[in-house]
């Protein structure tokens, strides 16, 4: 197969990706050719004699690297889900080259002169709102990334960006290897307290690891979320919980896969880059294009939640300690909290979350989340088993607007952990919605969306049965998908989830609300053996327990937000000890004494390998937005068609084509109410 096919529009139905034809050896030459073509097109745009116009410059730039964008999206998405050693090696090689190309575009003085000329004449250019937004975004992107720097400064900026690109991938690779390296073998007497589902999962994991030659044990626990969380919640063995907890909090914190040097280097380079561009810190640079606007606003926002969250979390901890004391346990350590919390929840609400699993069969939950999309947003999902997928576990769906039959996009779903997939859950695009290259030439194309999770696997004789948290995760990532699938923007760089980072979590976190509504659960929660709908009393307990330890959960998120700011809102050049820096940064949000050697930063991929640097506060910020939005749904009806239609038309379909505050006000009729979250979580 000629590698050039990775650079051209795919010809399968709806432009589906021919995964079955892609070989690893094609990536390197495809990247090489993609870079050559993109450079040539950018040079043509920059050097053209015609006076700069929106069409011959801005729109041309939107398409200039279409082939390169396609192979990059394909490669880096698969690197996260099915990466091999050779792909990781290529990633390290190609990331700096892509950063160099990006810098070549941004730092091209002739190209910037064309963009600036259009920007300076924007008042009389007759642009519509979306064109004006694209022009503003493009101009600011040039300016914020070095277009006004001198040559010596531009050279340094290039070097920094190339190094940062390399460090991001290396951080993720270290974390993946360190996580995969840990296995906790169990004997039968180590299974005390574990429910049947956790025992079956531990046996299934052991089968996999034995085949890989990594253990001889009959049961194992790993650092993958389903395995780790179940053991920490249910195991009666405090000594083993401690061992697992320490392994999790020391991942990539020493030895061959030590991320600490990478953190120090990356934070310093980010700061140097920001100062080079005229900003006080990396956080000041990042937040210039966020709803929060600057670090002081973020700190004020976090501080505004801290007092109520801290007081409530201390009460949560006191309740847990009191229960443990009744069983003769004097000290509740960090690795004991989830265990005793689960018992406390059971006592307070007569509620064991394991009783929910039989009602949360993955297949039925998928049908249910699709039905939510139909009732709320008129979307229909139809599985396409004829379309290629990148792994046998992945499923492909065609998405249409039910009332009109209009094609809205392709949706891929990849649900279960494997050794080649990084931890966590995320939504991604293989293709953005918007103006792009098609087999016929160019035009507005629909997106190819994927959600990637690490949900509980099927066990012998049983389907995949989810926990309540896993069901929330499914709804959360699906909410992100809706943001892309419902996008109706003209330009890809403004479409779907291409919004400010403190706005991007609104659609995803909003979807989680339906998981605790009877009307929502009735669409997805049926007993996998009997088909019985989830009983009303269980739904009542889900709702009653939804506020359980809301203070602790809020404080945990604030902890991550403050840690993020500690790395990015000031000069980190004086920081030499990652652990000490983290302990100081999180002192106000830590409920337990620090355990020497443990830390979150080496595993904090959101801010060191993802897009959330100086932006982790976004989760709490978006919680305020979604709590306010869902209050209207609760008032009018959780499946109210008019409210859903307004949200679709003012938010979900508009991407980043307008400032997010303006989009929110168009939906809600006012700015967000900060107290909506505290009301919802019972923290007022």
Residues annotated as part of the active site: 477
Taken in order 572, 576, 582, 588, the sign of the CA dihedral is negative
Task: Please give the span between the terminal C-alpha atoms of the chain, in angstroms, as a whole number.
Answer: 62
Whether the Cβ atoms of residue 515 and residue 372 lie closer than 8 Å to each other:
no
The DSSP string of 42-90 is: HHHHHH-SSPP-IIIIIIHHHHHTHHHHHHHHHHHHHHHHH--HHHHHH
Whether the Cβ atoms of residue 503 and residue 669 lie closer than 8 Å to each other:
no
The dihedral region occupied by 252, where left means phi > 0, alpha psi between -120 and 50, and beta the remainder, is: left
Distance set, CA 474 to CA 165, 268, 508 (Å): 30, 36, 10
C-alpha span between 360 and 169 (Å, rounded)? 35
* Strand order across the 448-452 sheet: 379-383, 395-401, 407-414, 448-452, 426-431
Distance set, CA 297 to CA 567, 569, 624, 659 (Å): 17, 12, 15, 18
Q: Which 3-state string (H, E, C) describes 305-321? A: HHHHHHHHHHHHHHHHH
C-alpha span between 111 and 33 (Å, rounded)? 22
For the chain, what's the residue count? 684
Q: What is the largest CA-CA distance in the chain?
A: 83
C-alpha span between 101 and 126 (Å, rounded)? 32
User: Of 347, 681, 363, whose CA–CA distance to 546 is shortest?
Assistant: 681
In the DSSP assignment, the letter for residue 290 is S
Q: How many helices and strands in the chain, by DSSP H and E?
A: 26, 9
User: Of 574, 582, 626, whose CA–CA distance to 604 is shortest?
Assistant: 582
Which residue is associated with the tokens 């947003």? 377
């Amino acid at each position: 197969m000629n590698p050039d096919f990775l650079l051209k529009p795919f010809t399968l139905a709806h432009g589906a990706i021919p995964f079955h034809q892609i070989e690893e050896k094609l990536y390197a030459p495809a990247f090489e050719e993609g870079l050559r073509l993109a450079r040539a097109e950018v040079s043509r745009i920059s050097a053209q004699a015609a006076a700069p116009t929106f069409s011959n410059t801005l729109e041309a730039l939107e398409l200039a690297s279409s082939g390169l964008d396609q192979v990059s999206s394909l490669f880096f998405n698969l690197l996260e889900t099915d990466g091999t050693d050779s792909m990781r090696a290529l990633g390290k090689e190609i990331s700096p080259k892509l950063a160099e190309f990006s810098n070549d575009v941004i730092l091209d003085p002739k190209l910037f002169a064309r963009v600036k000329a259009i920007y300076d004449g924007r008042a009389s250019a007759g642009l519509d709102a979306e064109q004006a937004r694209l022009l503003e975004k493009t101009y600011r992107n040039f300016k914020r990334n070095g277009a006004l720097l001198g040559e010596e400064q531009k050279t340094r900026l290039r070097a920094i960006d190339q190094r940062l690109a390399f460090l991001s991938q290396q951080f993720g690779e270290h974390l993946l290897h360190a996580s995969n390296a840990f296995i906790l073998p169990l004997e039968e007497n180590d299974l005390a307290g574990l429910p049947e589902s956790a025992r079956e999962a531990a046996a299934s994991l052991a089968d996999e690891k034995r085949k890989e030659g990594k253990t001889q044990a009959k049961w194992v626990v790993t650092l993958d979320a389903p395995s780790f969380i179940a053991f920490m919640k249910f195991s009666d063995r405090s000594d083993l919980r401690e061992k697992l907890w320490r392994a999790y909090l020391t991942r990539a914190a020493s030895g061959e896969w030590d991320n600490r040097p990478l953190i120090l280097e990356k934070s310093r380079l980010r700061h140097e880059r920001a100062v080079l561009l005229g900003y006080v810190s990396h956080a000041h640079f990042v937040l210039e294009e966020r709803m929060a606007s600057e670090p002081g606003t973020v700190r004020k926002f976090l501080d505004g939640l801290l007092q109520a969250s801290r007081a409530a979390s201390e009460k949560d901890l006191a309740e847990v300690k009191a229960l443990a004391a009744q069983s003769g346990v004097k000290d509740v350590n960090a690795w004991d909290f989830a265990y005793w919390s689960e018992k406390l929840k059971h006592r307070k609400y007569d509620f064991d979350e394991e009783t929910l699993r039989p009602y949360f069969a993955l297949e039925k939950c998928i049908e249910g989340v699709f039905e939510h999309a139909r009732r709320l947003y008129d979307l229909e999902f139809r599985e396409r088993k004829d379309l290629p997928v990148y792994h046998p576990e992945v499923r492909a769906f065609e998405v249409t607007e039910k009332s009109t039959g209009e094609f809205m996009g392709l949706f891929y779903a990849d649900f279960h952990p494997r050794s080649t997939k990084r931890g966590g859950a995320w939504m991604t695009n293989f293709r953005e919605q918007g103006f792009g290259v098609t087999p016929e030439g160019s035009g507005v194309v629909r997106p190819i969306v994927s959600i990637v999770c690490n949900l509980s696997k099927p066990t012998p004789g049983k389907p995949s049965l989810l926990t309540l948290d896993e069901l929330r995760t499914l709804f959360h990532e699906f909410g992100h998908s809706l943001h892309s699938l419902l996008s109706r923007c003209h330009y890809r760089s403004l479409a779907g989830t291409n919004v400010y980072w403190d706005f991007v979590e609104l659609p995803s976190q909003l979807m989680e609300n339906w998981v605790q509504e009877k009307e929502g659960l009735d669409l997805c929660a049926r007993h996998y053996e009997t088909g019985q709908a989830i009983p009303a009393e269980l739904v009542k307990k889900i709702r009653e327990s939804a506020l359980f330890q809301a203070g602790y959960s809020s404080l945990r998120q604030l902890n991550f937000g403050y840690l993020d700011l500690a790395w990015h809102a000031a000069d980190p050049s004086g920081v030499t000890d990652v652990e000490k820096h983290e302990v100081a940064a999180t002192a106000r949000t830590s409920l337990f004494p620090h355990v020497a050697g443990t830390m979150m930063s080496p595993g904090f991929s959101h801010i060191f390998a993802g897009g959330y640097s100086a932006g982790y506060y976004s989760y709490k910020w978006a919680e305020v937005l979604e709590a306010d939005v869902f209050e209207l749904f609760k008032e009018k009806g959780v499946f109210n068609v008019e409210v859903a239609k307004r949200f679709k038309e003012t938010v979900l379909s508009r991407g980043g084509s307008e400032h997010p505050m303006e989009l929110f006000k168009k939906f809600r009729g006012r700015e967000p109410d900060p107290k909506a979250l505290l009301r919802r979580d019972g923290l007022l």
